Structure 1
């Protein structure tokens, strides 16, 4: 049976109860605790979330709530009333652990900073709303603490949960349910975006020369003559088998064209219903690799079209399609929550699209999977979000935004994930396997997987397996719990 945390919420937080309870559920699920919500007047609880600590029930741990932050996070942020409460505070602290300052008095631990609001602020992407967007809707985070201080790579929201779990254990509570199976400390998964498996032989040599200059003359000639290709599915499979792992291949089910690409619609050129691809899809699935959807560039504009893409790929591959990653990370730039809700509407188990195209790290500040919040409906979306921490191009095409040695940066990500017992999901494109065409791209991935494999405490899984485990674990914890519903419970005392 899971360990239960008895928690009491200050009734003064009633106006923001849906947001507060979702944040607590997200953190407690990540920590591995079932919960029992107790009335505010209870005599003894494990956790109290109080606007006034002097009025809180007797508790092992009291966290001070700041209603002025919950009132309107974005309006406060933009008006300068709160001024990025998480980023600004951590600009000077550097580490969330330093912000989690605990004082003790008569057997009660007290945290005076509203770290629950901090977690909400990060998990819901409040700071994203103030940043300008460029081509493809990508956020420009230039000068932000997330980039300048490397805070995206620290996963501060799951850091809140990790620190809370450790504090509860220090207060005498038993540890929560393990996050991963077979006693593993962390999970690792890879998804390959299948963008360009068949080269355009007159075009690709020009792209090679643009990337490599004179060094690319021979590889460009080899591609032009058909001696080198991008069709390396067997190579990826062989590489991953060395580490007893399987990955996902995300295929685009809408066929684009060079003409569309030139007009600004950059969908891929292949047809998943072509015999070559149908055979490939079924071979991959038969060998245990996941077939996922790489939703087309404008899939987010229509749930009907989005669902049709998923259905078409399922037919072509003859296997269920439960997961997705958007081509170009292209959620609705003006309203990402609308796209997250669409994942639920088309029946996806998980999505893996919440990351920044240019910046290494975790866009929503967590290494733990979670159910995203929809602010308009004031409820969580029912499609799990599995956070992506690294895309290959972060360290190549966008290395200016992510300075440092590649292995050191990836080692830092892995260490952060291990410390939080989270998951490291990476995105490596299908076409970068050939070292002559993309020097060190596949090798960087291979070295990372070799390092993780040598640890012995990493659970390698496909993203679908990872998501299925987390969904089942969350369901177990919720079924063992009571309270923390969106509406305020009837008080009995």
Structure 2
């Protein structure tokens, strides 16, 4: 498995020192009653119930993200989830499984007109749309193919990549499914509990071809809480950005849309803005993985040709 990093002085990305890939997993665009009740009890804060009043939905943050990123002159990737309906698409025996209930409680219908409309709006305005494979799809090629087909029918065009729900992977088998489906990349390799370049500074080529894996560097929930530890959170992000620049890395960040609700998750929007602004100061290329993908494929082809030439000597 070969790694591909960003070379300082690569004309194809305007001589950027490293790459910052921005991604959003659309897990829960609607806040459910069970979630509101849970946080009301856990936080001893009845204001969580206010979010369930008509016209209130703190998890619907698409316009907020679009406005923020537009003001910063950047774009990102949104990965949409199509979790099977527990009562209509799964066997009765699944009703006794706690994991299936958890997925059902947060489930949304990707074909809902409101969801379909925002997918098309994002795509039309330059944001990347990708697949967020459902909880069990990482080991179910037929389900994963179905989800890709449905999303593409909504979008009206093919998609390039995405990320598995919960970062689920079955080794290279899941990536093999992706290549067989025609996807060019996956962004599931990473941790939901730790941040950092634990999987290296470059993207991966598990099959030494044009399929690319973007390792996840940081998920927002792994960072120090920016409301209680704002300076510490910024220091961690500053260190990661500096490390990315020093090593010509491809740094991928995940910010779930609900974390842009300042009332529910104070401090996270400002931290996201800080990452982008600081990355620009460090001369980073910034955008969605799908936009960077062709540059990396070209570098992969060049590296492969160099390896062949070297072997012939």
When normalised by structure 1's length, the TM-score is: 0.56
Take 2:97 and 2:10, find their aligned partners in 1: how far apart are those partners? 49
The root-mean-square deviation of aligned C-alpha atoms, in Å, is 2.7
Secondary structure in structure 2 of the residue aligned to 1:242: helix
Output the CA distance in 1 between the equivalents of 2:177 and 2:208: 13
5 Å-filtered alignment, 1:451-490, equals 451-455=278-282, 457-479=283-305, 481-483=307-309
Unaligned regions of 5+ residues in structure 1, if any? 1-21, 33-175, 373-378, 398-403
- Look up the match of 1:410: 237
Contact 2:5/2:250, CA 8 A, preserved across alignment? no
| Other-structure match for 1:243 | 72
Report what 1:208 is aligned to. Answer: 39
Equivalent position of 1:371 in the other structure = 205
Q: Report the equivalent of 1:233.
A: 62
Which whole-Å CA distance do the structure 2 matches of 1:393 and 1:306 have between them? 26
Mapped contact 1:222–1:228 kept (Cα < 8 A):
no
Once the two structures are superposed, residues 384-426 of structure 1 have per-residue CA deviations (whole angstroms, 9 ceiling, x without a partner) of 01111000110258xxxxxx91111111110000001112210
Q: How many residues align?
A: 299
Mapped pair 1:362 → 2:189: no
- Aligned position for 2:182: 347
2:14 alignment partner, one of 182, 203, 215: 182
Q: Which has the larger radius of gyration?
A: 1
* Superimposed CA distance per residue, residues 273-298 of structure 1 (whole angstroms, 9 cap, x where no aligned partner): 11111111110000000001000111
Deviations 1:336-368 (A, max 9, x none): 22222222222211111110111111342x121
Q: Deviations over 1:250-290 (max 9, x none)?
A: 00123445996963124351111111111111100000000
Which residue of structure 2 aligns with residue 387 of structure 1? 215
| Aligned equivalents of 2:232, 2:268: Cα separation in 1 | 13
Give the SS at the match of 1:224. coil
Q: Which protein, 1 or 2, shows the higher relative CO under an 8 Å CA cutoff with sep ≥ 6?
A: 2
What do residues 309-357 of structure 1 show as CA deviations (whole Å, max 9, x unaligned)? Answer: 111111112232111111011112xxx2222222222221111111011
| Residues 179/426 of structure 1: CA separation in 2 closer, same or farther (3 Å cut) | farther
5+ residue gaps in structure 2?
Answer: 88-93, 226-230
Distance 2:234 2:95 in 1: 37
Cα–Cα, structure 1 residues 239 and 346, in superposed 2: closer, same or farther, change >3 Å? Answer: same
